[in-house]
Amino acid sequence: MAPLLLGNERLVAGAARLLNIGLRFGTLLTRFLFVFFLARYVEPTSVGYYGLFTATIIYGLYLVGLDFYVFLSREILTVSEDQRGAMLKGQLALCGLLYLIVLPTFVLVLMRMGWSVSLLCWFAPILALEHFNQEVSRLLIVLSDQVAASITLFVRQGSWAIAAVALMIAYPDGRNLNVIMVLWVCAGLAAGALGIWRVKQLPIGGWSRPIDWRWVRKGISVSAAFLVSTLALRGIQTADRYWMEGLGGIETVGAYVLFLGVASTLMVFLDAGVFSFSYPALISHSHKREYDLARATVRQMFFQTLAISVAFGFVSWTLLPYLLHWVDKAVYQDAFGLYPWVVLAAITNAVGMVPHYALYARGVDKPIIYSHIAALPVFVISTWCLSKSHAELAVPISMTISFTLIMIWKAVAYQLLDRNHSTPKSTA
């Protein structure tokens, strides 16, 4: 009977993994199609502004979230179920205070940067919805409910992309950013409702307990260092678009955003098929000091990531010219030389996530923090130097240089840690 039960458990786990990959792949496919239909039916300048908007939203997520999930995701797995609600309530209270402080300042800065009234009006609601849904997805993944996380992700990112494509094809009046923003908000509301419903079904108690502000302050101190490093990393992935605008104009940003949309699907697929399953296992093995199992998991992650990344790079580089021909706009075809560097940067970033998760699971944070912080000035200096001779290519080349630095730094730190089979301790 025991072997039969074990076989059934493996069958269910395999089916769940396939369903999770299918949902993530569906989200990936819809986003992939969306970015090309956006390029075909919307002016390149609007695509450029859409890219600046999304990059700024992503950067804002870290300011209102304070990277607190880094601390919470470790803590919530080490306590009983009747304590988890109090932790989540503490995170909600902290984020509420952050919104009161950060959001007005953020909007004021964007006004000074010359953002249109239309984009400013959409910024706050989309930021809040993206933040809430992102935190719910992270919670579901940490609690090993990956399928539910993938369903909410599809609703949040895939559903409105399908609707936008349908509208752009059927109704010429729907080919503008305001329609896209409306659909984005509607999908965010639906994903939020679905996420709340699923969280209520999970065995999470302790909601009536008072907020432990001492625990919150501890989380802030732990997350603060991660926040600095994350803001540095996201600073690269936000400044690149603004720098590209300065070097080539807003239409070049549109082409760059299109290529980033293609390359970023790599990480979506890896999150679904590799990282979302290996990440909880790594934390569990490290917590139990099962270092041999952790090492085997890291090795498996590396080879899976490398194989998928290389295959993705080759296929996307081969097919992209045909897709650009379908888009039929010269600005994208003329900028194709950017893509090899964009996809190389994406691959380097993806491979670097393997030692990142390995270090994070062991509680070794300093190499992660230091490498991210060091990458920002490397990006700035590289872009500034290369822009004189390589123009727009300076941005993706510098991205590749920065991600290579991060990857090597984390890989060396993990090798040193693993060689000693040591208990978690910080090493630079």
Q: Give pLDDT, residue 426.
A: 47
Q: Which of 73-77, 150-154, 161-165, 240-244 has the lowest mean pLDDT?
A: 73-77
The pLDDT of 372-384, averaged and rounded, is 95
Is residue 407's pLDDT more than 90? Answer: yes
**Cβ atoms of residues 84 and 76 within 8 Å:** yes
Quote the CA–CA distance of 250 and 191 in Å, as a whole number.
Answer: 32
> What's residue 53's pLDDT?
92
Q: How far apart are CA 56 and CA 116, in angstroms?
A: 14
Between these two residues, 61 and 223, which has the higher pLDDT value?
Answer: 61
The rounded distance, in Å, linking the Cα atoms of 104 and 185 is 20
Higher pLDDT, 298 or 57: 57
Whether residue 115 has pLDDT greater than 60: yes
In this model, does residue 265 exceed pLDDT 90? no
pLDDT at residue 421 in the model: 58
Q: Centre a 10 Å sphere on the Cβ of residue 423 and count the other Cβ atoms it contains.
A: 11
pLDDT tens, residue by residue, 329-377:
999 999 999 999 999 999 999 999 999 988 888 878 889 989 999 999 9
What's residue 94's pLDDT? Answer: 93
The residue type of 254 is: G
φ, ψ of residue 160 in degrees (nearest 5): -75, -25
Percent of the chain exceeding pLDDT 90 equals: 47
Q: Which of 266, 241, 329 is nearest to 32 (CA)?
A: 266
**What count of other Cβ atoms lies within 10 Å of the Cβ of residue 30?**
20
Check residue 11 and give its pLDDT.
Answer: 67
pLDDT higher than threshold 90 for residue 33? no
Report residue 26's pLDDT band, with 50, 70 and 90 as the boundaries. Answer: confident
The rounded mean pLDDT for the chain is 87
User: Is the pLDDT higher at 362 or at 122?
Assistant: 122
Residue 251: HSE in the Cβ half-sphere, 13 Å Cα cutoff: 9
Find, among 107, 136, 137, 134, the residue nearest to 122 by Cα. Answer: 107
Q: Is the pLDDT of residue 1 over 60?
A: no
For residues 270 and 305, what is the distance between their CA atoms, to the nearest angstrom? Answer: 7
Tokens for 18?
Answer: 């396939």
| Residue bearing the bigger pLDDT, 276 or 5 | 276
Span 240-249, mean pLDDT? 91
Query: Contact, 241 vs 257, CB < 8 A?
Result: yes
Residue 224 has pLDDT above 90, yes or no: no
Local structure of residue 337 (DSSP, 8 states):
G
What pLDDT is attached to residue 7?
54
**How much is the pLDDT for 428?**
47
Query: Does residue 118 have a pLDDT over 60?
Result: yes
* Angle at CA of residue 146, ends 314 and 237, nearest 5°: 50
Question: How far, in Å, are 188, 332, 394 from residue 274 at the CA level?
Answer: 26, 32, 31
- Given pLDDT bands bounded at 50, 70 and 90, which one contains residue 427? very low
Higher pLDDT, 73 or 309: 309
**At residue 256, what is the residue type?**
Y
Report the pLDDT value the prediction gives residue 72, as an integer from 0 to 100.
Answer: 87
**What is the pTM assigned to this prediction?**
0.81
Instruction: Give residue-wise pLDDT tens across range 185-222.
Output: 999 999 999 999 998 888 888 888 888 899 999 888 88
| DSSP-derived 3-state class of residue 424 | coil
Q: Which residue has the higher pLDDT, 419 or 370?
A: 370
